[in-house]
Chains A and B, each alone.
Chain A
Amino acid sequence: MNIEKLKSAHKLLCEYKYELGKIEKGYTNRTLYINVGDNTISEKPVTQLMKDKFIGGKGFGLYYLWHAVTPKTKWNDPENEIVIGSGPIGGITQYPGAGKSLVCSISPLTGMPIDSNVGGYFGPLLKFSGFDALELQGKADKDVIIFIDGNKGTITIEEAPEEAIDSHVLGEQLTEMYAENEEDKRNISVVSAGSAANHAYMGLLNFTFYDVRRKQIRLKQAGRGGIGTVFRDKHIKALVIRFAGVKGNLNNADDQGKINRTGIKLHKEIHDFDAQQCRMRQVGTANIIEVMDQYDLLPTHNYKFGAHPDTHKISSKVFTGMITQNTPDGCWYGCSLSCAKAVDHFELRTGPYKGQKVIVDGPEYENAAGLGSNCGIFDPHDVLELNFYCDTYAIDTISYGTMTAFVMECYENGIINKEITGGLELNFGNADASLEMLHQMARGEGFGKLAGLGVRNLKRIFAEQYGGDPVFLNDIGMEQKGLEFSEYMPKESLAQQGGYGLTNKGPQHDEAWLIFMDMVNNQIPTFEDKAEALHYFPMFRTWFGLNGLCKLPWNDIIPASNKHSNEPAKIPEHVQNYVDIFNGVTGKNIDKEQLIVQSERVYNFQRIFNIRMGYGKRIHDAIPYRAMGPVTVEEYLSRADRYDGQLKELVGFNPEGKTTEEKMAALRSYREDQYQKLTDAVYKRRGWTMDGVPTIEHLQAIGMDLPEVIEVVKNHL
């Protein structure tokens, strides 16, 4: 690549100089605002209110986004922002999983706030460069690159017409361009999207880190909700940061020794137990592919079933053999869990990069399940090829997988046909058709462009334009709030139906994953038990996003003490670790109960933000019936013994002599009623009205009774 030629085409639009800052107890106490519409750059102070009520990361993102938009703002309005931040713990190197960035925006898919977390180096480097968060606002006329030099204290906005759009190329170009030499490449992180984000609503953001062993960039994804689409709509080609001098003490923690001791304890657990537990260091999150199949939880054929005879072809053993072994794969310094696996020298067989050998970052579990089993695709090479192109084109693998599975079921049911798809034979298992649809999405052509609008829009289009039955389409279209479901089968776990449905941003499992507790362990049998779990776990997991932390080191490694715990699902020793490192960094003195309240404030703020944007009520928490039970006779008959047994034991309905349709109707009536009762119990536990609105009394009790928040709520009580 001719970097000089690319760079010489740049036109400087704006240069800003700033005083290098200092971090005190995890905060720089300053954020950065960049408007690419009018090329203005400024700094904002972090107020005590922000730190007390919103902590950082996703909290800061939602706070800034609230004040940037109005209830009428759409995703592609210039005032919509993309806010990126780490959090007070973010950037420490002593405790695994402390390099996350949290990204917030108004989503093209849902029309309300979305948050997505991502590894890679950008968030910590932003903090070390002097800023707790970055707001991007406005819309540029032509493609621009923003470059932050955290050592020199300069920020530039540059028109950049000639660089690539796709992330695996662009990331390399900009790392080469902005690094001072080979040694300096590790100090660069690039945020970019890709060509499909120009057309599809499910565009993602890639965050790079430079892999010094491979001497190539690696890509981590802020996948959910279409933030990459917003990025490209703003005509931002890339956001680049450079900071040299990462050290373990840059957060100026209040008690570095406490952080060191806590980290050493966890490193030892990972060393001692990971190989017997999750094998994160060997195969990453893909370790659970066959486990999910064995428990009937691996979505196959658009969530019709939870297992498939061909799953062994895409099992973790298969991918273990393809992933490069014995190399450190952490996405931030000091993460010994090292789940960021990669397949090297993968030769592409389709698309614009056909014949090239590339790094595929993954496959993560969600990719194998979404791009693979859920679409009936069981060739690991196809999964990797789809994974690679989704990443570099900037398409969320989860939304793409769930959308494709939906489209395939519609195709097999005759709702759409080859005329409508432009010749694509979108049967389950047709990897070539899925790949071509993805390439079309990147080119903005044909059926692929339509598919990029996501399941919610496709349901409407298939009903209005192609005569599809809207009831059936709503039953099988696995989206809620406009966001596609992530890749777990929730049919047999009422609690997980709530874990998907009773969420702020839509059906993503990062709030709660309760299937084992509920379906297998039977630990939360009553509505009140489930409601308690659907309070605690979403609040606990929200906290990772306030602090720049990854969830995996919490419960993907289990300490020896856990078997003696009264609440093993919470991993109490690790909860205490988080209390300790928060106090160690910030100098505060919270306990595990106060940790939950910190999250509760932001969680309720986000709920009210949704309400402010016209969503966030009970009606928006409904889920498609495919998430609750069998929509089709085929599904019922595939697990007839299970369903017949439940009709007898739970519903009080004798299935003998009844038609399958009669049995399905009885089961559906029961399960839909169960979900409503669960919703009642969860709203009550969360301090909300039965319409899902946080009460003023509850907001006062948790300390989230800000005037602007009350102003919204009081109109809905």
Chain B
Amino acid sequence: MIKLNNRDFEWEEGLTVQGLLDKKNYTYPKLIIKINHVLVLSEEYASTVIRDGDDVKVIHLLAGG
């Protein structure tokens, strides 16, 4: 189990940041992602592995016309 935006989320072996975005259908382009308060750059989404128990924040920057 991990924390995703302070909510429980099922963890699985080999889960990457990109995999998490795909599972959640998080398609919005303006994201700030941190794992245990450490920033993950967009070019590292596919290679960054999330470990069991991690605290993950996927912050969508608000929009609206």
The CA of A515 and the CA of B60, in the complex, are separated in Å by 10
In the complex, the answer to whether A516 meets B62 with C-beta atoms within 8 Å is yes
The CA of A647 and the CA of B5, in the complex, are separated in Å by 21
The answer to the question of A366 belonging to the interface, with a C-beta cut-off of 8 Å to chain B, is yes
> Of residues 264 to 303 in A, which have CB atoms within 8 Å of B's CB atoms?
276-278, 285, 288, 290-291, 294-295
With A522-B6, A563-B39 as known contacts, state yes or no: A291 contacts B28, CB within 8 Å: yes
Residue of A294, A510, A555, A563 touching B32 (CB-CB under 8 A):
A563
The answer to the question of B1 belonging to the interface, with a C-beta cut-off of 8 Å to chain A, is no
Beta-carbon nearest neighbor of B42 in chain A:
A276
> Of residues 1 to 24 in B, which have CB atoms within 8 Å of A's CB atoms?
5-7
The CA of A433 and the CA of B51, in the complex, are separated in Å by 55
Number of interface residues of B (CB under 8 A): 20
With A520-B5, A525-B6 as known contacts, state yes or no: A558 contacts B28, CB within 8 Å: no
The CA of A552 and the CA of B62, in the complex, are separated in Å by 11
Residues in chain A near residue B58, CB distance under 8 A = 520-521
Q: Could you say which of A290, A563, A571 has the most chain B C-beta atoms within 10 Å of its C-beta?
A: A563
In the complex, the answer to whether A364 meets B29 with C-beta atoms within 8 Å is no
The digit string for A446-469, where 1 denotes a CB below 8 A from any CB of B, is 000000000000000000000000
In the complex, the answer to whether A514 meets B27 with C-beta atoms within 8 Å is no
In the complex, the answer to whether B60 meets A516 with C-beta atoms within 8 Å is yes
The answer to the question of A365 belonging to the interface, with a C-beta cut-off of 8 Å to chain B, is yes
The CA of A510 and the CA of B64, in the complex, are separated in Å by 8
What's the nearest-Cβ distance from chain B to residue A227, in Å? 18
The answer to the question of A421 belonging to the interface, with a C-beta cut-off of 8 Å to chain B, is no
What's the nearest-Cβ distance from chain B to residue A278, in Å? 7
Beta-carbon nearest neighbor of A365 in chain B:
B65
Q: Could you say which of B26, B58, B63 has the most chain A C-beta atoms within 10 Å of its C-beta?
A: B63
What is the count of residue pairs linking A and B with beta-carbon distances less than 8 angstroms?
A: 72
The answer to the question of B46 belonging to the interface, with a C-beta cut-off of 8 Å to chain A, is no
The CA of A510 and the CA of B61, in the complex, are separated in Å by 16
In the complex, the answer to whether B61 meets A568 with C-beta atoms within 8 Å is yes
What's the nearest-Cβ distance from chain A to residue B42, in Å? 8
In the complex, the answer to whether B6 meets A278 with C-beta atoms within 8 Å is no
Residues in chain A near residue B65, CB distance under 8 A = 285, 364-366, 486, 509-510, 551-552
In the complex, the answer to whether A568 meets B63 with C-beta atoms within 8 Å is no
Beta-carbon nearest neighbor of A284 in chain B:
B65
With A513-B62, A558-B61, A562-B61 as known contacts, state yes or no: A521 contacts B5, CB within 8 Å: yes
Beta-carbon nearest neighbor of B40 in chain A:
A563
With A291-B27, A294-B27, A516-B28 as known contacts, state yes or no: A522 contacts B7, CB within 8 Å: yes
What's the nearest-Cβ distance from chain B to residue A258, in Å? 26
The CA of A113 and the CA of B36, in the complex, are separated in Å by 48
The CA of A412 and the CA of B26, in the complex, are separated in Å by 34
The digit string for B33-65, where 1 denotes a CB below 8 A from any CB of A, is 000000100000000000000000111111111
The CA of A484 and the CA of B55, in the complex, are separated in Å by 40
In the complex, the answer to whether B30 meets A278 with C-beta atoms within 8 Å is yes
In the complex, the answer to whether B62 meets A278 with C-beta atoms within 8 Å is no
Beta-carbon nearest neighbor of A516 in chain B:
B60
In the complex, the answer to whether B6 meets A555 with C-beta atoms within 8 Å is no
Residues in chain A near residue B64, CB distance under 8 A = 488, 509, 513, 515
What's the nearest-Cβ distance from chain A to residue B49, in Å? 20
Residues in chain A near residue B32, CB distance under 8 A = 562-563, 568
Residues in chain A near residue B30, CB distance under 8 A = 277-278, 558
The answer to the question of A523 belonging to the interface, with a C-beta cut-off of 8 Å to chain B, is yes
> Of residues 499 to 532 in A, which have CB atoms within 8 Å of B's CB atoms?
509-510, 513-517, 520-523, 525
In the complex, the answer to whether A288 meets B63 with C-beta atoms within 8 Å is yes
The CA of A571 and the CA of B59, in the complex, are separated in Å by 13
The CA of A551 and the CA of B58, in the complex, are separated in Å by 24
Residue of B27, B29, B39, B62 touching A564 (CB-CB under 8 A):
B39
The CA of A263 and the CA of B4, in the complex, are separated in Å by 37
Beta-carbon nearest neighbor of A518 in chain B:
B62
The digit string for A550-573, where 1 denotes a CB below 8 A from any CB of B, is 011001101000111000110100
What's the nearest-Cβ distance from chain A to residue B55, in Å? 12
In the complex, the answer to whether B5 meets A522 with C-beta atoms within 8 Å is yes
The CA of A486 and the CA of B65, in the complex, are separated in Å by 10
Residue of A278, A366, A521 touching B63 (CB-CB under 8 A):
A278
Residues in chain B near residue A509, CB distance under 8 A = 64-65
In the complex, the answer to whether A276 meets B39 with C-beta atoms within 8 Å is no
In the complex, the answer to whether B63 meets A555 with C-beta atoms within 8 Å is yes
The CA of A556 and the CA of B32, in the complex, are separated in Å by 15
Residues in chain B near residue A562, CB distance under 8 A = 32, 61
Q: Could you say which of B27, B32, B62 has the most chain A C-beta atoms within 10 Å of its C-beta?
A: B62
The CA of A294 and the CA of B59, in the complex, are separated in Å by 16
Residues in chain B near residue A364, CB distance under 8 A = 65
The digit string for A414-426, where 1 denotes a CB below 8 A from any CB of B, is 0000000000000
Residues in chain A near residue B39, CB distance under 8 A = 563-564
What's the nearest-Cβ distance from chain B to residue A284, in Å? 10
Residues in chain B near residue A366, CB distance under 8 A = 65
> Of residues 557 to 609 in A, which have CB atoms within 8 Å of B's CB atoms?
558, 562-564, 568-569, 571
With A521-B5, A522-B6, A564-B39 as known contacts, state yes or no: A555 contacts B28, CB within 8 Å: no
Interface residues of B (CB under 8 A from A): 5-7, 25-30, 32, 39, 57-65
A-B residue pairs in contact (CB < 8 Å), sample of 10:
A294-B28, A509-B64, A513-B63, A515-B64, A516-B62, A521-B5, A555-B62, A558-B30, A569-B61, A571-B61
Question: Other than the known A515-B62, A515-B64, A522-B5, what 11 A-B pairs have Cβ atoms closer than 8 Å?
Answer: A294-B28, A365-B65, A509-B64, A516-B28, A516-B62, A521-B57, A523-B5, A555-B61, A555-B63, A563-B39, A569-B62
